Amino acid sequence: MTAMMRVLIFDWGDTVMRVFPGYAGPMADWPEVAAAPGVEVALTALAPHHLLALATNAADSGAALVRVALQRAGLARYFALVFTARELGARKPEPAFFEALLREMDCAADEAVMIGDDYAADVAGAKAAGLRGVWFNPAGAACPDSHPLYDAVVTELADLPAALAAIRLPDLAESSALLAQYDVSSNLLAHCRAVAAIAFRLAEHLQAVGEILDPLLAHRGGLLHDVAKPAAKRMGQAHDELAATLLRAHHFPELADIATRHTVWAVATEARQPVTWEQKLVYYADRLLEEDRLVGVKARMAGMIERHPEQAEVLRSCLPAALAMEANIAGRLGMSSAALIEWLRAELAGGG
Rounded to whole angstroms, how far apart are CA atoms 305 and 120? 44
CATH number of the domain that residue 341 is part of: 1.10.3210
Rounded to whole angstroms, how far apart are CA atoms 155 and 340? 27
Domain boundary among 135, 150, 165: 165
Residue 253: closest CA among 232, 278, 231, 281: 278
Q: Are 28 and 134 in contact (CB under 8 A)?
A: no
Domain boundary among 165, 197, 225: 165
Residues paired with 153 in a beta bridge: 135
Length reported for the chain: 352
Domain boundary among 110, 136, 165: 165
Neighbours of 346 (CB within 10 A): 10
Rounded to whole angstroms, how far apart are CA atoms 322 and 234? 29
178 shares a domain with 42: no
Count: domains in the chain: 2
* pLDDT of residue 266 exceeding 50: yes
217 shares a domain with 273: yes
| CA–CA distances in Å: residue 16 to residues 42, 149, 352 | 10, 21, 32
Cα-Cα-Cα-Cα dihedral of 97, 100, 103, 105, to 10°?
Answer: -60
204 shares a domain with 337: yes
Residues in contact with 29: Cβ distance below 8 Å, sequence separation at least 6, in sequence order? none
155 shares a domain with 11: yes
51-56 and 7-10 beta bridge pairing = parallel
328 shares a domain with 216: yes
181 shares a domain with 136: no
127 shares a domain with 65: yes
243 shares a domain with 311: yes
DSSP state of 133: E
97 shares a domain with 200: no
Q: Which pLDDT score is estimated for 2? A: 41
Q: Are 197 and 147 in contact (CB under 8 A)?
A: yes
Residue-wise pLDDT tens digits, 13-68: 999 999 999 999 999 999 999 999 999 999 999 999 999 999 999 988 999 999 99
Provide the domain limits for residue 122. 2-165
Burial letters 136-165, b for 16+ CB under 10 A, else e? bbeeeeebebbbbbbbbbbebbebbbebbe
CATH number of the domain that residue 54 is part of: 3.40.50.1000
Residue-wise pLDDT tens digits, 166-206: 999 999 999 999 999 999 999 999 999 999 999 999 999 99
321 shares a domain with 191: yes
Residue-wise pLDDT tens digits, 287-342: 999 999 999 999 999 999 999 999 899 899 999 999 999 999 999 999 999 999 99
- Give the predicted TM-score (pTM) of the model: 0.94
341 shares a domain with 197: yes
Q: Which pLDDT score is estimated for 351? A: 63
186 shares a domain with 144: no
Q: Are 326 and 301 in contact (CB under 8 A)?
A: no
Banded model confidence at residue 270, pLDDT cuts 50, 70, 90: confident
